[in-house]
């Protein structure tokens, strides 16, 4: 049976190719995990190996050294990659407006109905003598940029009332659960996990409120891999489009493969299924939908000092693979 399947895979997808995928283990990567575990990539002759990273900026070195072919993470660090001469193309998205601002019980009590976030942060500092610590990922990442935009531009929080604390994804979730910080910006499935474990943890902003049409996780391919294997890139994008449709149509079917990839025996399938339909989960495969928002995000990164200058986006997005895949659905 193995030989038969392998022969069919070669017949349908040509010579088998292995793609080295760098990924942040978050729910937004679900379309890639679903596509892989449904067997759609293997049927196209595309094998996969995965390396997990704590943030997009941490993945840039792997791109620079040529140790990964495909990047599945936030779009913001790719501006840094391009400024370093790394030729990479965004061929699909997986999700938008992923980031969610949550606060722990000691800060949540100041977020009363009718109280503006800036006032809540001000009252917390007045009561404790300390600014609220908001955990997020490193400078240059989508979470960090989104959090700062929400704090300083959307809510107009006084910089004396809140401080941004960069840390890894797992550390952020743990810090929220044990109360080591007063709040954080997190993504699914962490949102569902922390609010289930501690009902005192409160969601105070969804992604669209933090940064309108906030560009989230993308599927980007190195130019070298794309030039060698354009048919495999097309198969990958087609599978992501199918997976997004499946997640929206039947999240119950999509949950087990995502749990296998993310749960590691810690998060059960029911929690993953709930996270897939959470208000913080907005799956889409169309890279055209985030081009303008990516430019806006990049401008804000320059304002923050995370980028030295704006990098032209003209070469970053290639929607042709998505357009062909969408036309074939």
More confident call, 232 vs 61: 232
pLDDT at residue 10 greater than cutoff 70: no
Residue 13 is predicted with a pLDDT of 54
pLDDT at residue 139 greater than cutoff 90: no
* Residue 5 pLDDT grade (very low, low, confident, very high; cuts 50, 70, 90): very low
Q: What value does the mean pLDDT take over residues 254-270?
A: 84
Residue 9 is predicted with a pLDDT of 38
Q: Are 78 and 88 in contact (CB under 8 A)?
A: yes
Backbone angles phi, psi at 44, to 5 degrees: -90, 5
DSSP state of 184: E
More confident call, 326 vs 312: 326
* Residue 6 pLDDT grade (very low, low, confident, very high; cuts 50, 70, 90): very low
Mean pLDDT of the chain: 90
pLDDT tens digits, one per residue of 120-129: 999 999 999 9
Of the listed ranges 83-87, 145-149, 211-215, the least confidently predicted one is: 83-87
Residue 94 is predicted with a pLDDT of 96
Q: What value does the mean pLDDT take over residues 287-295?
A: 93
Residue 278 is predicted with a pLDDT of 93
The contacts of residue 291 (CB under 8 Å, 6+ apart) are: 313, 317
pTM of the shown model: 0.85
pLDDT at residue 12 greater than cutoff 80: no
Of the candidate CATH numbers 3.40.1280.10, 3.60.70.12, 3.40.190.10, 1.10.760.10, the domain formed by 100-210 belongs to: 3.40.190.10
pLDDT at residue 222 greater than cutoff 60: yes
Residue 99 is predicted with a pLDDT of 93
Q: Does domain 2-96+215-327 have CATH number 3.20.10.10?
A: no
3-class DSSP state of 156: coil
Residue 309 is predicted with a pLDDT of 83
Residue 58 is predicted with a pLDDT of 81
Residue 313 is predicted with a pLDDT of 81
* Residue 142 pLDDT grade (very low, low, confident, very high; cuts 50, 70, 90): confident
Q: How far apart are CA 80 and CA 96, in angstroms?
A: 20
Q: Where in the chain is the domain with CATH 3.40.190.10?
A: 2-96+215-327, 100-210
Element (H, E) at 170: helix 169-178
More confident call, 229 vs 12: 229
* Residue 85 pLDDT grade (very low, low, confident, very high; cuts 50, 70, 90): confident
Residue 3 is predicted with a pLDDT of 27
Q: What value does the mean pLDDT take over residues 35-48?
A: 94
Residue 233 is predicted with a pLDDT of 97
Backbone angles phi, psi at 49, to 5 degrees: -130, 145
Q: What value does the mean pLDDT take over residues 202-207?
A: 96
* C-alpha angle 98-52-89 in degrees, rounded to nearest 5: 65
Q: In b/e form, how buried is each residue of 82-117, taking b as 16+ CB within 10 angstroms?
A: beeebebbbbbbbbbbbbbbbbbebbbebbeeeeeb
Q: What value does the mean pLDDT take over residues 150-159?
A: 98
């Amino acid at each position: 049976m193995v030989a038969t399947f392998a022969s069919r895979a070669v017949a349908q997808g040509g010579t088998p190719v292995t793609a080295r995928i760098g990924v942040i283990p978050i729910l937004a990567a679900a379309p890639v995990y679903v596509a892989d575990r449904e067997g759609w990539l293997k049927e196209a002759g595309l094998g996969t190996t995965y390396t997990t990273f704590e943030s997009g900026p941490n993945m840039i070195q792997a791109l620079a050294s040529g140790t990964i072919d495909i990047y599945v993470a936030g779009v913001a660090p790719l501006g840094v990659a391009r400024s370093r001469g790394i030729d990479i193309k965004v061929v699909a998205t997986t999700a938008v407006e992923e980031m969610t601002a949550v606060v722990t019980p000691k800060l949540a009590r100041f977020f009363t109905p009718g109280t503006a976030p800036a006032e809540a942060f001000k009252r917390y500092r007045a009561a404790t003598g300390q600014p609220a610590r908001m955990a997020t990922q490193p400078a240059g990442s989508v979470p960090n940029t989104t959090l700062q935009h929400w704090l300083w531009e959307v809510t107009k929080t006084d910089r004396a009332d809140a401080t941004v604390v960069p840390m890894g994804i797992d550390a952020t979730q743990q810090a929220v659960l044990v109360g080591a910080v007063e709040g954080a910006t997190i993504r699914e499935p962490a949102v569902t996990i922390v609010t289930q474990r501690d009902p005192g943890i409160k969601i105070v902003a969804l992604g669209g409120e933090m940064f309108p049409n906030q560009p989230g996780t993308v599927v980007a391919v190195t130019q070298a891999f794309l030039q060698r294997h354009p048919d495999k890139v097309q198969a990958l994008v087609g599978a992501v489009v199918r997976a997004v449709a499946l997640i929206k149509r039947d999240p119950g079917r999509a949950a087990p493969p995502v749990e296998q990839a993310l749960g590691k025996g810690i998060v059960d399938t029911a929690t993953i299924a709930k996270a897939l339909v959470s208000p913080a989960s907005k799956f889409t495969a169309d890279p055209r939908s985030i081009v303008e928002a990516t430019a806006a995000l990049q401008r804000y990164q320059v304002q923050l000092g995370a980028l030295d200058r704006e990098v032209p986006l003209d070469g970053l997005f290639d929607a042709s693979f998505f357009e062909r895949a969408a036309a074939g659905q």
